Structure 1
Amino acid sequence: MTKKEFIELYAKNGNMSKKDAEKNINLFLDSIQEALISDNEVGFVGWGKWEVQDKAARNVMNPQTKKLMTIEARRVVKFKPGKLLAEKIK
């Protein structure tokens, strides 16, 4: 589902205009981003949580050239679904 499709679904379910839906969704996403940048995790009980994790540098082999490459250390965002969401997805 694209962001545009999600906005349409959100607007329909919330009985609001697409403009208001897009504003709400952008505010929600910006708030999650701000929290993650500040090293806070964002969690909703039963639904899930986002958190930032550090990944160490590692050496890998390029399968085409067989040369060793180094992937630099980086920070990644992880999402872990909560129990209620996981049960609904099954």
Structure 2
Amino acid sequence: MNKRELIEKAAENTGQSMKVVAAVLDAVLDTIQSTVADDGKVSIAGWGKFELAKRAARMARNPSTGEPITLAPTVRPVFRAGTGFIGLTRQKHAAGK
């Protein structure tokens, strides 16, 4: 499902126009992105948590030369599914859907 399909389905489920649903979805996604980028967390009970994962600087090897190199610290956004989301996924998968 892509973003347009998601908006269409949500508009159908809520009875709202696609324009309204698209504006709300964009606002929610922008809020999640800016919060996580500012080192915050967004937690939706039973659904999941968005947060920033930090990785410290580390030593690695150049695969071509075998020389050791230092990799800079990095950050990346992560999503951790909540128990409700995991339970539904397992239930539907076990039912063969």
Tell me the TM-score normalised to structure 1 length: 0.82
Match of 2:33 in 1: 33
Gaps spanning 5+ residues in structure 1: where? none
Which is higher, the Rg of structure 1 or of structure 2? 2
Match of 1:43 in 2: 43
Match of 1:11 in 2: 11
Q: 1:21 to 1:67 in 2, by over 3 A?
A: farther
Aligned residues: 87
Gaps spanning 5+ residues in structure 2: where? 91-97
Tell me the TM-score normalised to structure 2 length: 0.77
Q: 1:7 to 1:71 in 2, by over 3 A?
A: farther
Aligned ranges 1:1-90 → 2 under 5 Å: 1-58=1-58, 59=60, 62=63, 66-67=64-65, 71-90=71-90
After superposition, the CA RMSD in angstroms is 1.9
